[in-house]
Amino acid sequence: MKCKYWSKQLFDLVPYTPGEQPKINDLIKLNTNENPYPPSPNVAQLLQQFNIGDLSRYPDPNSALLSQALATYHDVEIDNIFIGNGSDEVLAHAFMAFFRQDKPILMPDISYSFYTVYCDLYDIQATPIALKEDFEIQLADYATPNGGIIFANPNAPTGRAICLAEIEKLLQVNQDSLVIVDEAYVDFGAQSATALTQKYDNCLVVQTFSKSRALAGLRIGYAIGHPRLIEALERVKNSFNSYPLDMLAQASAVASIEDDEYFKRSLQTICATRAWTEQQLTSLGFKVIPSKTNFLFVAHASIPAIDIMTFLREKKIIVRHFSKPKIDNYLRISIGTEQQMQQLINQLQAFL
């Protein structure tokens, strides 16, 4: 309930609603695009051997070892890297650092719903740009005066990806403002724009350890961009919380990067399960949007999404539905293990 002590701006603020995390036994949880597999065994080993006595000290405020590991992994310099507490925090700092401009920022009308929350929080004007009928982002439509541009590639919740050539074209025609490419799902098959950050100083890429690296619980996100962009993010960070990542998160992230073989193998497994699930859903009469992520965005030809979601929930399978225009007949289904997806298909077969 609102009260007189609140800052005025909070009264009309509509916060982001995260996907629920119910504590139900035997739940098949396909609603928040988490990784169904554990992180690299390197992480388990590290945590088991961690010296608990170290926890009495503050962590490295700059996450230097992790920054270096990420710089090496992405073939960039350490001053191209900014690290935050989940990519949500990195994005929040980026909105604060770059998007409080006179002109409105541009973003797809259907995308990650946190973007509009940051706009409201920081008093940023935004102009939504409609996706194409098939849910593809059409970057040619973004070549208008703006205070900045943000889109997710692949996009969420649609799962569709656009190619690098399109992004490069946008960077060239939009040199007066910053373009943020949110690559939360890029490892599942899309092309990353990280190389473009070395060529264009108006390109900032944001990635996360929450999806492909199975470390959502540790909250690790980062940005890659020109050192001047990174400096702006550092200024915001150091005016907010100098120690965004705890010691366990920093060390676990490095351990994850060091096990590239496990990383690639688990991505391959998830992509193979995605292909199988897509085929099964299509044969059950679903329209499936082509996905380069660890989820599928689907609508059934004759049964409303909400009815399917309700049925699945009774069977202890939870998927995500967005009550928003244009997408309210779609469900977003995260890719679980092969066994979980088989159970999903079995239940849908029984229902349909």
Ligand X SMILES: Cc1ncc(COP(=O)(O)O)c(C=O)c1O
Nearer Cβ to ligand X, position 230 or 348? 230
Nearer Cβ to ligand X, position 180 or 348? 180
Q: Are 147 and 104 in contact (CB under 8 A)?
A: yes
Q: What backbone phi and psi angles, to 5 degrees, belong to 222?
A: -155, 165
* In the complex, minimum distance from the CB of residue 145 to ligand X, in angstroms, rounded to a whole number: 26
Q: Are 335 and 341 in contact (CB under 8 A)?
A: yes
Nearer Cβ to ligand X, position 150 or 288? 150
* In the complex, minimum distance from the CB of residue 245 to ligand X, in angstroms, rounded to a whole number: 12
Q: Is the peptide bond before 157 cis (omega within 30 degrees of 0)?
A: yes
Greatest Cα pair distance, the chain, in angstroms, is: 59
Nearer Cβ to ligand X, position 78 or 216? 216
Nearer Cβ to ligand X, position 88 or 278? 88
* In the complex, minimum distance from the CB of residue 208 to ligand X, in angstroms, rounded to a whole number: 3
Q: How many other CB atoms are there within 10 angstroms of residue 123's CB atom? A: 8
Total residues belonging to the chain: 352
Over the chain, what HEC string results?
CCCCCCCHHHCCCCCCCCCCCCCCCCCEEECCCCCCCCCCHHHHHHHHHCCHHHHHCCCCCCCHHHHHHHHHHHCCCHHHEEEECHHHHHHHHHHHHHCCCCCCEEEECCCCCHHHHHHHHHCCCEEEECCCCCCCCCHHHHCCCCCCEEEECCCCCCCCCCCHHHHHHHHHHCCCCCEEEECCCHHHCCCCCHHHHHCCCCEEEEEECCCCCCCHHHCCEEEECCHHHHHHHHHHHCCCCCCCCCHHHHHHHHHHHHCHHHHHHHHHHHHHHHHHHHHHHHHCCEEECCCCCCEEEEEECCCCHHHHHHHHHHCCEEEEECCCCCCCCCEEEECCCHHHHHHHHHHHHHHC
Nearer Cβ to ligand X, position 33 or 197? 33
* In the complex, minimum distance from the CB of residue 56 to ligand X, in angstroms, rounded to a whole number: 28
Nearer Cβ to ligand X, position 59 or 86? 86
* In the complex, minimum distance from the CB of residue 48 to ligand X, in angstroms, rounded to a whole number: 24
Interface residues with ligand X (CB under 6 A)? 33, 86-88, 112, 152, 156, 182, 184, 208, 210, 216, 221
* In the complex, minimum distance from the CB of residue 210 to ligand X, in angstroms, rounded to a whole number: 3
* In the complex, minimum distance from the CB of residue 211 to ligand X, in angstroms, rounded to a whole number: 7
* In the complex, minimum distance from the CB of residue 86 to ligand X, in angstroms, rounded to a whole number: 3
Nearer Cβ to ligand X, position 59 or 157? 157
* In the complex, minimum distance from the CB of residue 49 to ligand X, in angstroms, rounded to a whole number: 26
Nearer Cβ to ligand X, position 112 or 142? 112
